[in-house]
Amino acid sequence: MALDSKIPHGPLKDKWTDYKNHINLVNPANKRHIDVIVVGTGLAGGSAAATLAELGYNVKAFAYQDSPRRAHSIAAQGGINAAKNYQGDGDSTYRLFYDTVKGGDYRSREANVYRLAEVSANIIDQCVAQGVPFARDYGGLLDNRSFGGVLVSRTFYAKGQTGQQLLLGAYSAMNRQIARGKIEMFNRHEMLDVVKVDGKARGIIARNLITGEIERHSAHAVVIASGGYGNVYFLSTNAMGSNATAAWKIHKKGAYFANPCYTQIHPTCIPRSGDYQSKLTLMSESLRNDGRIWVPKNIEDSKALQQRKIKPTDIAEENRDYFLERRYPAFGNLVPRDVASRAAKERCDAGFGVNATGEAVFLDFASAITRYGKTQAKIQNIENPSDAKIYELGQAIVEEKYGNLFQMYEKIVDENPYETPMMIYPATHYTMGGVWVDYNLMTTVDGLYCIGEANFSEHGANRLGASALMQGLADGYFVLPYTIGDYLSNEIRTGKIPTNTPEFDEAEKEVTDRINFFINNKGEHSVDYYHKKLGKIMWDKCGMSRNEQGLKEAMVEIKALREDFWKNVKVPGSASEMNPELEKAGRVADFLELGELFAKDALNRNESCGGHFREESVELDGEQKGEAKRNDKDYAYVAAWEYKGEPADAVLHKEILEFKDIELKQRSYK
């Protein structure tokens, strides 16, 4: 099948405007006769459902949580990017576009990224109008902070609760439409299959997670906004319930999948404390604005820390290795996420880890607290302040900026991060791969759309932060409501889609047979037994560091694990009740299939990019294994990476190749 991305002709800066000017529309009187299903109610799904309903469409929204406000978007902490240039530091639509393309290692679809940069400012205006309490500076303007890998401050934030506040904004917009009857909300419902009629997506099969009832729902179009698949690694920063089922089901019904092996490794996660853990917790990247990352210079000190014979504060300043500042002086602790993650892993692999597992580095705020304290003492005209007073004043500033994050860390680790440095370690976070979509956000199945993290289009092999919230809200508020009208304009005479058809019968039977298998199979191992084994294979052989032998082994091991799963998995309880183990069984079955595709994709990409280092692909200079040759003036991977093949949809545009402040070797992709 030839993929048609439907990218409009013309210069990048004019594509979206010209496209909107000529797209087909549905008039207001006809919208009330058209039904749309939205699966997932995080930032992408929630904003899409609210906007489509506001336009007049009849929306059915599905969430496996007990409320849309519990979608995993609520866990996003650090901020959302937008090119409003409030800081006057040179930001622009083009600069955000360029940084996002570069941050994706030049594997993003540029037309989509430019559109994203264009609408980013509108997102902030929309959210402010909804009452989202973004931080403000002394003059009353919205405040910004820096994130890794960029040279401007464009990240809008609400302390460490940005995702929560943005989601509450979308949720309030949804509630308005629920009250008006334009959104029919289905909480505690999980989509288990999509239904196609004459090649078009016409509905879904869903399970009521409380009663176990299997339900049929029809619509003129289906929108998947179910988030990413980071839990294929078992341990990740994702919510325990985050899964790939909706995206994987539509893939098996004809929607193409793209770049499954691209996952983002986040450098500032609270380290695991043992093999019994089932969840990792993220510390916002914004902490790297003020926190300094270090390990001991002497391996003896690291061993003593691992054995708890000494405290971090016992190690003198001259015996600390601030390795990011040493290696990357231009960006210091705010290098891109992949660089920070790889550097931390390298230090820990070399034996310099600082916790009991040897998988942690320090994130230290002592310097920032002292710096802020001295400034506050000046402001308050305190002469000759004591060290204790300086620390007290500085701590108050840090607490104001990051207080809830410090609180969360202390509750989890049981250590006060104001008195002893935080510990962090890289962990699977965001997934850039996903369902292939065209410029309209439609999959390769007519009438089936995919938005937010569930699709692949904007991020390439993303190494940056604060992009995910931007894409989710851009798709939901400003892109899909336009592009879906182009398709639905041909559906105004279709009428209600019936559910008593052979296509719905067949899809429901497939779902029911699968559920019955899980309930009736008399295996000996729990679902988590298989999920943990899959996660270990994925992290060890398909994680930050990959090689040909390991990836081939992973494919064989995952296949064998999947075969054993279908023979020996045990699911207690029944199908006619709330049964979390049954839910997990279906999700892990999908992860086992996705995991093998993931490894196959990684094997076919003989390259290092994003958060992944392909060990045998290049000869690299530098003390850090996996450290790219770099241009310190404008951090970028240059001549070290070699690529083969050429992608449809990802060829570098002339505009990028002519951008003068970065030296690029001609790249192509596999």
For the segment 524-537, what is each residue's pLDDT rounded down to a tens digit?
999 999 999 999 99
Give per-residue burial for 13-47: e unless 16+ CB within 10 Å, then b: eebbeebeeeeeebeeebbebbbbbbbbbbbbbbb
pLDDT at 487 over 60: yes
**Of residues 82, 241, 56, the one with CA closest to residue 147:** 82
Distances in whole angstroms, Cα of residue 536 to Cα of each of 83, 241, 282: 39, 19, 20
Output DSSP code: residue 492: T
Q: Are 571 and 519 in contact (CB under 8 A)?
A: yes
DSSP 8-state class, residue 7: P
C-beta of residue 626 within 8 angstroms of C-beta of residue 613 = yes
Instruction: Determine the 3-state secondary structure of 670 from DSSP.
Output: coil
Tell which wins on pLDDT, 9 or 635: 9
Q: Residue 375: how many CB atoms within 10 A of its CB? A: 14
φ and ψ of 614, to 5 deg: -90, 110
Q: Which helix (H) or strand (E) holds 447?
A: none
> CA-to-CA distance for 571 and 587, rounded, in angstroms?
13
Do 462 and 34 contact (CB within 8 A), yes or no? Answer: no
Q: Does 133 score more than 80 pLDDT?
A: yes
Q: What percent of the chain has pLDDT over 90?
A: 82
Backbone angles phi, psi at 258, to 5 degrees: -130, 140
Whole-number percent of the chain with pLDDT over 70: 92
More confident position, 634 or 396: 396
DSSP state of 627: P
Phi, psi dihedral angles at 189 (to 5 degrees) = -125, 135
Q: How confident is the model at residue 127 (pLDDT cuts 50, 70, 90)?
A: very high
Tokens of 298: 């002497």
Structure-block tokens of residue 284: 């916002």
Using 50, 70 and 90 to split pLDDT, how confident is the model at 353?
very high
Give the model's pLDDT for residue 655. Answer: 29
Q: Is 125 exposed, middle or buried (0-12, 13-18, 19+ CB in 10 A)?
A: exposed
Mean pLDDT, the chain, integer? 90
Please tell me the distance from the alpha carbon of residue 483 to that of residue 508, in angstroms, as a whole number: 30
For the stretch 373-401, pLDDT in tens is 999 999 999 999 999 999 999 999 999 98
For the segment 62-71, the average pLDDT, to the nearest whole number, is 96
Instruction: Give the integer Cα–Cα distance in Å for 626 and 610.
Output: 11
- Specify whether the CB–CB gap between 423 and 355 falls below 8 A: yes
Give the pLDDT band (50/70/90) at residue 151. confident
Classified as helix, coil or strand, 637 is: strand
Cα–Cα distance, 522 to 661 (Å, whole number): 63
Catalytic hit among 154, 272, 292, 337: 337
Q: How does residue 285 score in pLDDT terms, banded at 50, 70 and 90?
A: confident
- Comparing 15-19, 235-239, 273-277, 594-598, the range with the smallest average pLDDT is 273-277
Alpha helices in 323-454 (DSSP H): 323-327, 337-347, 366-379, 387-413
Q: Alpha-carbon distance 647 to 33, whole Å?
A: 40
pLDDT digits (tens, 9 = 90+) for 73-125: 999 988 999 999 988 999 999 999 999 999 999 999 999 999 999 999 999 99
Rounded Cα–Cα distance for residues 241 and 254 (Å) = 25
Cα gap 608→342, rounded to integer Å: 12
Average pLDDT score over residue span 630-638: 29
pLDDT at 651 over 60: no
Torsion sign (Cα): 383, 384, 387, 388: negative
Q: Do 337 and 149 meet the contact criterion of CB atoms below 8 Å apart? A: yes
CB distance 283 to 333 below 8 Å: no
Residues 125/269, Cβ–Cβ less than 8 Å = no
Known catalytic residue at 337: yes
Task: Return all residues near 83 (Cβ < 8 A) that are at least 6 apart.
Answer: 91, 92, 93, 95, 96, 117, 120, 121, 154
Tokens 């290098």 locate to: 335
Question: What pLDDT is attached to residue 354?
Answer: 97
Measured in Å, how far apart are the chain's first and last C-alpha atoms? Answer: 18
How many H-runs (helices) and E-runs (strands) does the chain carry? 19, 19
Q: What are the backbone dihedrals phi and psi of residue 267, each rounded to the nearest 5 degrees, phi first?
A: -80, -20
Phi–psi pair at 558, nearest 5 degrees? -65, -40
Indicate the SS3 state at residue 74: helix
Cβ atoms of 45 and 38 within 8 Å: the answer is yes
